[in-house]
Amino acid sequence: MMNVRAGNTAIKALADDRRNMSKATFELYRDQADEWRWRLVHDNGNVIADSGEGYDRKAGARKGIESVKKNAPDATVETQE
C-alpha cells in the first residue's frame, strides 16, 4: 500500500494533470528483483507516483493501478507538518 504522503502526492498530481490537460501514463514493469511495479509518469518525464512495493504477480500491480485510478481523483489532500 502507498503511504498517506505518497498517496496525497499522487492525488494532487492527477488533479493537476486534469486541470492542465496534461497526459500522465502508468508504466507497468519488472524490477531488478523480478517483481512487478507501476509508476505514474507525467508527460514531461517526471515520476509523480509509484507503487512503493513490488508484486509477485502482474495482476497485483494492475490492481494497484486500478485502485489509484478509482480512488484518487476526488480524495482530499492532508498537510502534515
- The helix/strand/coil state of 80 is coil
Residue 17: its pLDDT value, please? 56
What structural domains and CATH numbers belong to the chain? 4-71 (3.30.160.160)
> Residue-wise pLDDT tens for the chain (81 aa)?
445 566 667 777 766 655 656 689 999 999 999 999 999 999 999 999 999 999 999 999 999 999 998 988 888 888 998
pLDDT of residue 4: 57
> Rounded to whole angstroms, how far apart are CA atoms 38 and 27?
5
How much is the pLDDT for 72?
83
In whole angstroms, give the CA distance from residue 42 to residue 30: 20
Whole-model pTM over 0.85 = no
Residue 1 confidence (pLDDT) = 47
Q: What contacts 48, CB < 8 A, 6 or more positions away?
A: 9, 10, 13, 24, 40, 41, 42
The C-alpha atoms of residue 16 and residue 78 are separated, in whole angstroms, by: 16
